[in-house]
Amino acid sequence: MSRLFMPSLVLHVVVAVVGLGSILAVAIVATAMRRAPHGPIAMTPWLGPLLRSSAISLGVMFATGILMDAAARGAFHDRWWFRGSAVLLVLTGILHARARRLARRGFAPDARPDAALRGIERLAYGMSGLIAAITVLMEVRPF
């Protein structure tokens, strides 16, 4: 393994904890806003930054995963737990893109902000579940 592996691993773990934790915050904020009397009005100041930071974190997670595999000279590349984690991360990114699209459309004049918040909430809980599955795969390495 190259000397690049350990710094990549540290960055990967820090971003997983700090950066991807904001995805669960998106779900919690969307739930609270949907239930609050003026929730949809307050949607932009809270959800926008959370969704932007978690988008950056997803990209960094993908990049550091590739970097760790390269630093380990491809030692993880043929492992199914690594491949499964990559697929789940891509699925998380797809759900994240849908949530960002819902957040943007939720303020159109003909939009229903409550429906947008409900969709964002469900997508964020789904992303949180995928991230939990990735964490299990990375730690247990079942296959």
Which structural domain range is residue 106 located in?
Answer: 5-140
Q: What is the pLDDT of residues 35-56, one digit of tens each?
A: 887 656 666 677 889 999 999 9
- The per-residue DSSP string of the chain comes to --TTHHHHHHHHHHIIIIITHHHHHHHHHHHHHHHSTTTGGGHHHHHHHHHHHHHHHHHHHHHHHHHHHHHTTTTTTT-HHHHHHHHHHHHHHHHHHHHHHHHHHTTSTT--HHHHHHHHHHHHHHHHHHHHHHHHHHHH---
Does the pTM exceed 0.85? yes
Question: What does each of the 143 residues of the chain score in pLDDT, given as a tens digit?
Answer: 788 999 999 999 999 998 888 999 999 988 888 888 765 666 667 788 999 999 999 999 999 999 999 999 999 988 999 999 999 999 999 999 999 999 888 766 777 878 888 999 999 999 999 999 999 999 998 87
CATH number at residue 42: 1.20.120
Could you give the number of structural domains in the chain?
1
Q: Could you read off the pLDDT of 94-112 as tens digits, one per residue?
A: 999 999 999 888 766 777 8
